[in-house]
Structure formats: C-alpha cells, structure tokens
A and B are shown apart, each in its own frame.
Chain A
Amino acid sequence: MAKPMDQYTWKELLPGCVVAEPGSSREYHTGTWRSARPVWDEAKCIKCGLCWVYCPDAAVVRKPDGYYTVDLDYCKGCGICAAECWPMAISLVEES
C-alpha cells in the first residue's frame, strides 16, 4: 500500500476493496503480533529444512551456510517451526 491503512479515506478505496498492487502484503509487518520468537541451536540443527517447509508465513529463511533463521518482520511467533523440529533445535523465547 502506498500509505498505512489508517490513513485511507473511503473515497480512495478501489471498488470492492480489491488490492491492485501484487505482493503488497509484504509492507504489512505482522511480526508486531509476536509474543515469542524462535531461536535455533545450530549444534542440534541438521539442516533438514522442515521449519522452512512448515512456516505458514514463509518467515523462516535459509542462510548461505545452510542453517536457518527467521525474518522477524513477519514471524508471528506461532511456534509451528519449534513443534515440527524433531531434533529439538528450535526453542521459543519470550519477547521482553
């Protein structure tokens, strides 16, 4: 969106409130919803990528060294990655 949602007047909305700009959800940082963040223990991580597969927000990112991290702009802290990680390499750490 060209500007934050709370600045749009009703006259500026497109008919049916269609979003004509593809990929605009990127500008909405859902990471602010998070109350806990995933933290990887690379000593336990086997680089299987299940966290990357299961993340419903595509917020898990593969690093050049093959280990994984998270894009905190979009991670909502749902914990699915930690629940699916069978080598128990991911723990959820509460946000302060």
Chain B
Amino acid sequence: MAREGMEVSIAAAEAVALCDTDCIAAYPITPQTHIVEHLAELVADGELEAEFIPVESEHSAMSVCCGTAAVGARTFTSTSSQGLALMSEIMFIAASLRLPVVMALVNRSLSGPLSIWNDHSDVMSVRDCGWIQVFVEDGQETVDHMPWAFRVAEDPAVSLPVAVNLDGFILSHVIEPIELWTKEMMQKFLPPFSPVNRLHPDQPVTMGAFAMPDLFTETKMAQNQALIKSKPIILKAWDELLQVTGRRYRPVETYQTEGAKILLVTMGCLGQTAQLAVDALREEGEAVGLVKLRLWRPFPFEEFRKAVEGAELLLVIDRAISFGGPGGPVASELRNALYHAKKPPRVVNMIAGLAGRDVQPNDFEQMVEQAKAKVAEGKEDDYLIYGVRG
C-alpha cells in the first residue's frame, strides 16, 4: 500500500478503526488529541461500527474501558498528561483485573505550571501501574503499534492492558508519510478478541472481589508474573508484524553501537534526533552510538545489558524528574539493571526536553562533552538538568 502524508494522530485513529475496535471511551477536551476526535467522527459518519462513549472525566473513561473490556468488547482510549493522572486510579484496576484495554498515551507534561507540551512526566507517574508499556518514535511505528497492542493485550496468555506511548505535538501533531494497513494485513495479524474472563449471565463470575491479607500477596505475585511472562508473546507479535509489514521492531533498538565507547540512551522521538548527533560525532571520530528503549514494561533486562556491553559510558537522557530522588526514572532503572554486571559502564544522567523544550542534534553533542567532563571530575553518579539557566 502506498504511503500517504497524514497527521500522526489521524493515522493512529485510522489504525484503531481498522482494528475493528468495538468501544472507545474518552473525555473530549484538552489534554486530548485528534486521535479520539477522529474516531468520534468515524463513528458518527457510520464508517466505524463501534460505541463511542463520551464520558464526563478520564476517571470515567478508564472505568468504562474496564466495563467494556470485561464484557468482551475490543476497547480503546487515548489521553495525555492531566487526563492520564485522573485515569491513573483505574489503570491499576484494569491491570489487576487483567483487562486488555489499549491506550494511545500521547506524552505531555504534568502541570504545574500549566503546560500542554511534550515530555514523559505523565507516563512515568504510572510506571508501576502494571500495564505493558511501549514507546514509538515516528508515525509509521505509531500506526503499526495499534494492531500490535491489541494483538498482545488480547493474547489469552497475556490478557493485560497495553499503553503505546507517543510524544505529544512533536509526533502526535506532525504530518508524516505513513503506510496504513490493508484489511487483508489486519485479518492476517489480528484475530478476533476472545476474552479469558467475561461478564456474561450464562457463566457468572465476580470481578474485583476483595482479598484479605492472607491472599493479597499471592494476587500480586500472579500479576507480576503475568507481566513478566508477556515478553515472549510481545516478541512473537513483533515477529509476526515483520511478516505482515516487512518492518522489524525490537525491545531495545541500537544504532552505531559497534565499537562505541559512549552510548546515548533515549526513549521516544528523541532517538531520531540522537541518530543525527551520532552521525555527526562519528564523523568527528568519536566512538559514539545510540540505544533506544522501545519496551519499558516488562523491562527488557537481557536485551538492554547486551546492547550496552563493551561501552564505557552511558549518557541517559530522561524527560522527567524524580523530585528529590536519583535524577530521572529511566537512568535510575538502568543503573539498577547494571548493578550486577561484571564491568558496568558509567552512567551519566541528563534531564532534557522538559515540556516541549527543543533538543537539537548539537544539544546531544554538548551533552556528550558535559558527560565526559563529569566523568573526568569523578561525579558521574550525579545528574544534570541540561540547558537550565542560572
């Protein structure tokens, strides 16, 4: 199928519609994107046979999603920043009830000050909610990961909600050449939803019952194991996606890592800018490479350790701050992942690109210089808020 210039949000909505989604519940005002706006249009115009449920808040949106997934409907929602914060209570419940809701999470900063721009502070606030979480970095990846998310979420061995993270504005609102899937591709890749648990009068079940202290620990162990064990299904779905689209996705992507002494580590759109910086630095003779984390939960420990093997310095770029903590959430996890490595690289953490502040290729070059200076000073365990004035 030919590529077409489309706004990424619109393309994401078209992809969700092609997935034959049964129900979309969303709160329509800001922080929101064209994703649900366009889905509402498709339903209103009769092009998508689905229930579009406009609710009175994001808390209700996620509650409705739990209800519709529980009766066996293929369910989608999308939100950003404050909307995600309001959803968060019910996100934990969707995961613990093993309800395969799919969300396009358009990453934007949490207030205050009031901001509508892009960073990762929203998703990091729900890091531990038990969802499968993946990051995309361009329009094609966004479109490909809508059916992928349903395929993984609804797999009977998984049955967990999936959040596809895409950067707000710098990805969600740009126009890119995108290949939409055909119906044939979709039929080949995405089977009909056959729920593991279903609310139905013919076979009554109780969902969301309480657990006393003598059972709760076992429920959390089971939930954690389910998320960890979703990884082989995630990898298989990417293999199958390759068969259908010719595009290969991995939990940890690498660029110019061979022989690299310094590795940049990014998540989301910054990866593409970082590639340009790596090219420029390589031309200058610096042994620099790039590692891009695609899969955030379940965390791909094995692939990450392999990707950074042999590097002397990791420069981890975080787009959120853990206030009063060790810097950024990504760097803190990566340090943890490397703690038992035989020859772990040093880790320098830069916090950059908060609330839409632009990060250009030359900024990465500056960061590499600053990281080298920190290591020379023996202060590599600190973090820096890159480019902050004063």
Contact A9 B97 (CB under 8 A): no
The residue in A6, A14, A17, A19 that gathers the most chain B C-beta atoms within 10 A of its C-beta is: A17
Report how far A65 CA is from B226 CA in the complex, Å.
54
Contact (A16, B215) CB under 8 Å given A10-B222, A11-B222, A22-B204: no
Q: Does B1 contact A (CB under 8 A)?
A: no
Per-residue contact bits, chain B 207-229, to A (CB 8 Å; 1 contact, 0 not) = 10101101100110110011000
Q: Does A20 contact B (CB under 8 A)?
A: yes
Contact A19 B197 (CB under 8 A): no
Report how far A66 CA is from B99 CA in the complex, Å.
47
Contacting B209 at CB < 8 Å: which of A9, A11, A17? Answer: A17
Where chain B touches its partner, the secondary structure class is: loop
Contact (A18, B215) CB under 8 Å given A10-B221, A11-B222, A13-B222: no
Q: Does A5 contact B (CB under 8 A)?
A: yes
- Residues on B with C-beta less than 8 A from A86 are none
- Residues on A with C-beta less than 8 A from B225 are 10
Contacting A16 at CB < 8 Å: which of B99, B203, B212? Answer: B99
Residues from 3 to 35 in A contacting B, C-beta threshold 8 Å = 5-6, 8-11, 13-20, 22, 24-25
Contact B219 A13 (CB under 8 A): yes
Contacting A18 at CB < 8 Å: which of B197, B218, B226? Answer: B197
Q: B222 CB to closest chain A CB, in angstroms?
A: 4
Contact (A8, B96) CB under 8 Å given A18-B197, A19-B206: no
Report how far A8 CA is from B211 CA in the complex, Å.
12
Residues from 130 to 155 in B contacting A, C-beta threshold 8 Å = none
Contact B197 A14 (CB under 8 A): yes
Contact B218 A9 (CB under 8 A): yes
Q: A56 CB to closest chain B CB, in angstroms?
A: 15
Contact (A10, B214) CB under 8 Å given A18-B197, A18-B207: no
Contact B215 A6 (CB under 8 A): yes
- Residues on B with C-beta less than 8 A from A20 are 203, 205
Contact B218 A16 (CB under 8 A): no
Q: How large is the interface on B (under 10, 10 to 19, 20 to 34, 35 or more residues)?
A: 20 to 34
Contacting A19 at CB < 8 Å: which of B196, B205, B221? Answer: B205
Residue of B nearest to A16 (CB): B98
Q: Does B118 contact A (CB under 8 A)?
A: no
Residue of A nearest to B197 (CB): A18
The residue in B205, B207, B211 that gathers the most chain A C-beta atoms within 10 A of its C-beta is: B205
Q: A76 CB to closest chain B CB, in angstroms?
A: 14
Residue of B nearest to A12 (CB): B218
- Residues on A with C-beta less than 8 A from B98 are 15-16
- Residues on B with C-beta less than 8 A from A17 are 96-97, 209, 211, 219, 222
Q: Does B9 contact A (CB under 8 A)?
A: no
Per-residue contact bits, chain B 299-322, to A (CB 8 Å; 1 contact, 0 not) = 000000000000000000000000
Residue of A nearest to B94 (CB): A16
Report how far A13 CA is from B221 CA in the complex, Å.
10
- Residues on B with C-beta less than 8 A from A22 are 204, 206
Q: Does B32 contact A (CB under 8 A)?
A: no
- Residues on B with C-beta less than 8 A from A6 are 214-215
Residue of A nearest to B220 (CB): A10
- Residues on A with C-beta less than 8 A from B226 are 15
Contact B205 A5 (CB under 8 A): no
Contact A5 B212 (CB under 8 A): yes
Q: Does B79 contact A (CB under 8 A)?
A: no
- Residues on A with C-beta less than 8 A from B99 are 16
The residue in A9, A16, A20 that gathers the most chain B C-beta atoms within 10 A of its C-beta is: A16
Report how far A1 CA is from B218 CA in the complex, Å.
15
Contacting B218 at CB < 8 Å: which of A13, A19, A25? Answer: A13
8 A-B contacts (beta carbon < 8 Å): A5-B211, A13-B219, A16-B96, A16-B98, A17-B97, A18-B97, A18-B207, A18-B209
Ranked nearest first, the 10 interchain pairs of A and B with the lowest CB-CB distance are A16-B98, A6-B214, A19-B206, A10-B221, A10-B218, A16-B97, A10-B222, A5-B215, A18-B205, A15-B98
Q: A8-B215, A9-B218 are in contact. List 4 more A-B contacts (CB 8 A).
A: A5-B212, A13-B219, A18-B197, A24-B206
